[in-house]
Structure 1
Amino acid sequence: MNNRIDAIYARQSVDKKDSISIESQIEFCKYELKGGNCKEYTDKGYSGKNTDRPKFQELVRDIKRGLIAKVVVYKLDRISRSILDFANMMELFQQYNVEFVSSTEKFDTSTPMGRAMLNICIVFAQLERETIQKRVQDAWYSRCQRGFKMGGKTPYGFRTEPYVMDGVRTKKLVIEPTEAAFVRQMYEMYADPQVSLHDITKKLTADGMRTYHGRPLSRATLSVILRNPIYVMADLDIYEFYKSQGTDIYNDAADFAGTNGCYYYQGKGNTEDKHKHLQGQTLVLAPHEGFIPSELWLKCRKKLLASHTYQPARKARNTWMAGKIKCGKCGYALMSAHSNGILYMRCTVHADSKACPGCGCVKLHELEAV
């Protein structure tokens, strides 16, 4: 036990002017130790909302190995902002007889009063974190409602260009003619009651269409495109459709003039059938122009709502390996399939459109055994 050393832990989630740097935190802690042998553990770019941090986990391992006598931090919230994580951490420190010191708050964990003050402070640290999260979330929804593009992958059929809205620099979607022509073809084909998603992926892949990163069109991507109001020329029929489905519509009915597309935001806590249940979601008119007529868009959207044959968010069945094994030729996930009572793994793209030659015959039980 005499060979144990002191440890300094420092964390910084975001490098800002008003946040103390890791280097400064370490200097404060070294002053608290007044010399002596110590080991530094630093996590840069990690939040304090949980303990999933590489250097913090290394510190825990060293404590369990009996190498650490004292842990010093600049401030309590550098090591944790969660009441549950903090309680578990204090239990660990007590179990291995490790002293905990906050250099700016002067806590002494050897006394009941010191432990009580620590618990009070961690409550306020978690409150601060949750308040920051709420502010960020409110700001995000505020920008959504004003029609700002909120990042993410550019939808197929569009490109982005710089745009200023309400004095704020953002990006605006602009129609990409070649891709937009393929999107129109998707809608026109799917409007036919006899045409399936598989028929469209097979036809367009054969015509040379490729989506993101040069990949062939899949049913999952096609389904997303066909139900996305970002493409529609939103008029009163679109407004009435979403209103009847219980969707929250930010704009007035008079704003739906049959020109602009829409942004559609899915709220939290939705079921895996959220593409069918539109209640509680949010629809906002976007600044870009749509290019699919509302009548055609609605025909396809209602067909998707009535379809029970395709479920893009279904849970993995038959095997725990679903989604974890990729095809060596196209990079897409393998899926399980039955044949004569035997389970096989096959390439998703090969099953959708034959655009990939597939990975051959892979028996599921043999692969799981490996």
Structure 2
Amino acid sequence: MDNNKKICGLYLRVSTEDQAREGFSLPEQKQRLEDFCKYKGYIIKDYYEDAGISAKTGNYRPEFERLKEDIKSKKINTIVAFKLDRITRSIYDWEELITFLDENAAYLDCANDEINTTTANGKMISRLLMSVSQNEIERTSERTKVGLSGAIKQGHIPHQAPLGYKHENKKLVIDYTTKDVVERIFKLYHDGLSYQKISTLFNKEEVLGKTNWRDSSITAILTNEIYKGDFVHGKRTKSPTYYENVVEPIVSKEMWEECQVQKKKNLKVIKEL
């Protein structure tokens, strides 16, 4: 391949959020990039489209990976994209890509950002734009967290309503048609019945018309902080956030805590058997 000729791969990407925010669909990107290549005298070798995929770090983009393989095999020597954030929004990923392009004598040209990695100045400008882009992502994340926190404190719980509750005007409120079932589960467990005995009893009685009550469903209810009026956001993450008194409780905090103590005692007995 003649390295003096720019043999291009047109990279097109749009996520649902991008299209809603910017309005640039894949066909629109494609048309603009074709016009850009015609103006620059670039030869278009192939098209690479990742639809509905974010450029966040860790997201697998099959067409972008195919594009990189074609660069390695010298089928193309230039990536043409609409904007830098079509490629990535991470400074770390961008530095990796610059290194990859350098190692393979390839380049990146962005139609809308006027970025060209063939020069030192072009690389410097790309790093500045990437820093601004990442800063905006981090600020947006902070604003989202603040907004979510405020909503949760107002009782807007971003989860499916658990048994005993229902969503009303986006707020989680007590469902009085099933509240008694939850209260009974806590009382039975507090009085000494195991998960298994409670689920067996409920199946026998066909509580709520169900015969598929399981130990796990009883456990999930007894360990859910929402029933004492609290909520844990990101419970399975490394940094969960605890919110107190965000909804009307079905059981007292004392009852809930005593059931957790009972749970630990039961586990200790099982381990000793």
Residue 124 (structure 1) shift: 1.7
Deviation at 1:17, TM superposition (A): 5.1
Q: CA deviation at 1:197?
A: 2.4
**Counterparts in 2 of 1:227 and 1:308: CA distance versus 1, 3 Å:** same
1:186 deviates by: 1.6
Residue of structure 2 equivalent to 1:65: 73
**Secondary structure of the equivalent of 1:68?**
coil
Task: Provide the aligned length of Structure 1 versus Structure 2.
Answer: 260
Match of 1:251 in 2: none
**Helix, strand or coil: the match of 2:20?**
coil
Which position in structure 2 is the counterpart of 1:216? 212
* Distance apart, 1:190 and its partner CA: 0.5
Q: Deviations over 1:222-280 (max 9, x none)?
A: 22311334334xxxxxxxxxxxxxxxxxxxxxxxxxxxx4444457534xxx8xxxxx7
1:283 aligns with 2:252: no
Among 296, 299, 324, the alignment partner of 2:258 is: 299
Whether 1:27 and 2:26 are equivalent positions in the alignment is no
- Where do residues 37-116 of structure 1 align in structure 2 (5 Å cutoff)? 37-50=44-57, 51-116=59-124
Amino acid at match of 2:82: Y
Q: Distance in 1 between matches of 2:122 and 2:37?
A: 19
TM-align CA RMSD: 3.2
Cα distance 1:291–1:17, how it changes in 2: closer, same or farther (>3 A)?
A: closer
Distance 1:56 1:176 in 2: 53
Q: Where in structure 2 are there 5+ consecutive unaligned residues?
A: none
Q: Deviation per CA, 1:189-216: give whole Å up to 9, x if none.
A: 10124x32233233334444589xx893
TM-score normalised per structure 1: 0.60
What fraction of aligned residue pairs are identical, expressed as a percent?
A: 23
After superposition, what is the alpha-carbon deviation per residue over 1:304-337, rounded to whole angstroms, capped at 9, x for unaligned? Answer: 4666459xxxxxxxxxxxxxxxxxxxxxxxxxxx
Return the offset for 1:82: 0.7
Partner of 1:244: none
For 2:211 and 2:60, the matched residues in 1 are separated by 34
Provide TM-score, normalisation by structure 2.
Answer: 0.79
Write the distance in 1 (CA, Å) between the matches of 2:118 and 2:234. 49
Instruction: Letter of the 2:54 partner, please give it.
Output: S
Partner SS for 2:115:
coil
Deviation for aligned residue 1:141: 0.8
Question: 1:199 aligned to 191, 197, 200, which one?
Answer: 197
Matched AA of 2:36: E
Contact 2:80 2:109 in 1 (8 A): yes
Gaps of 5+ in 1: 164-169, 233-260, 275-279, 311-370
Q: 1:17 to 1:230 in 2, by over 3 A?
A: closer
Shift of 1:81: 0.6
Q: Once the two structures are superposed, what CA deviation does each residue of 1:312-363 show, in whole Å capped at 9, x if it has no partner?
A: xxxxxxxxxxxxxxxxxxxxxxxxxxxxxxxxxxxxxxxxxxxxxxxxxxxx
The amino acid that maps onto 1:200 is I
Larger relative strand fraction: 1
* 1:190 aligns to 2:189 (yes or no): yes
> Which amino acid counterpart does residue 31 of structure 1 have in structure 2?
D
